[in-house]
Amino acid sequence: MSVSHPTALIADDEPLLRDALAGQLRQAWPELDIVASVRNGREAVAQFEALRPDICFLDVHMPGMSGVEAAARIARRAHIVFITAHDQYAVQAFAQGALDYLVKPVEPERLLDTVARLRERRQPASPDIETLLARLAGQLRAPAPALNWLTAQVGAALRLIPVEEIDYLRSDSKYTAVAWRGDDGQPAEALVRTPLKELLAQLDPAQFVQVHRAVVVNLRAIRHVLRGENETATIHLRRRAETLPVSRNYLHVFRQM
């Protein structure tokens, strides 16, 4: 059903009443496009199948096939508004799934109510904004999955570095130097454009810890830690000659082990 261009069909065996209702609808709902105006239920069903209007205004009493019978053929594929000279048909109208009913002669104020109801019914179902916000908040609270790979430029090649093979990361201005062990088990290094702080947030905290403002180390790569002066320490790595500093602010990491 189109929201931007509503269409309608009018079925009534009295031409003057059809024209009168069409004129009232043009006043009450200017953007409504009346695509068919027919004189009985059988024509209404045929035109509905051909044009598929959004709304069908059906007179209850028409020769050949009544508006109620036509509504049953159309089923719930359009919004149905019955038109009747007797309001006792209202209950039957709603039983047929009609959105509304209008009593002849159609009063302008009553038609405005019907139009308002049709406009509201045609609005797409709005999402429950509170539910969506709660869902989004939950997603934001949930920890992001740990990083498994880093992508680094190594010479002319783009290298995928498994996180478990990284020994440490060191901040290097806007970049991060990644020290890992290559396929042959030998030390290797590369630069990635992601800042250290951003990378640290994606690493498994049970495996990687920050030991200095500019250094994050893989606990599995540590051979031992030597205490130094002024509440500092030095990390010695497996299969690497270089050492890593541990500043006073991060020495507590090793006190807890």
Task: Give yes or no for residue 150 having a pLDDT over 70.
Answer: yes
> Tokens 């000659």 sit at which residue?
241
Task: Give yes or no for residue 89 having a pLDDT over 80.
Answer: no
pLDDT at 1 (0 to 100) = 45
- Whole-model pTM: value is 0.48
Alpha helices in the chain (DSSP H): 15-28, 41-51, 67-74, 90-95, 108-122, 129-141, 196-200, 252-255
When comparing pLDDT for 66 and 43, which is higher?
Answer: 43
Task: Give yes or no for residue 139 having a pLDDT over 70.
Answer: no
Q: Checking phi first, is residue 99 left (phi over 0); if not, alpha (psi -120 to 50) or beta?
A: alpha
Task: Give yes or no for residue 185 having a pLDDT over 50.
Answer: yes
d(CA 47, CA 36): 7
pLDDT at 87 (0 to 100) = 63
Can you count the helices (H) and strands (E) in the chain? 8, 15
Give which of 11, 29, 13, 33 is closest to 82, Cα–Cα. 11
**Angle at the Cα of 79 from the Cα atoms of 75 and 85, rounded to 5 degrees:** 95
Tokens read off for 104: 């002849």
d(CA 172, CA 204): 21
159 DSSP β-pair partners: 152
pLDDT-derived band of residue 173, with 50, 70 and 90 as boundaries? Answer: confident
pLDDT-derived band of residue 186, with 50, 70 and 90 as boundaries? Answer: confident
pLDDT digits (tens, 9 = 90+) for 187-196: 988 888 888 9
Q: Which residue pairs from 202-205 have beta carbons closer than 8 angstroms and sit at least 24 positions apart in sequence? A: 202/144, 202/146, 202/147, 203/146, 203/147, 203/163, 204/146, 204/147, 204/163
Task: Give yes or no for residue 93 having a pLDDT over 70.
Answer: no
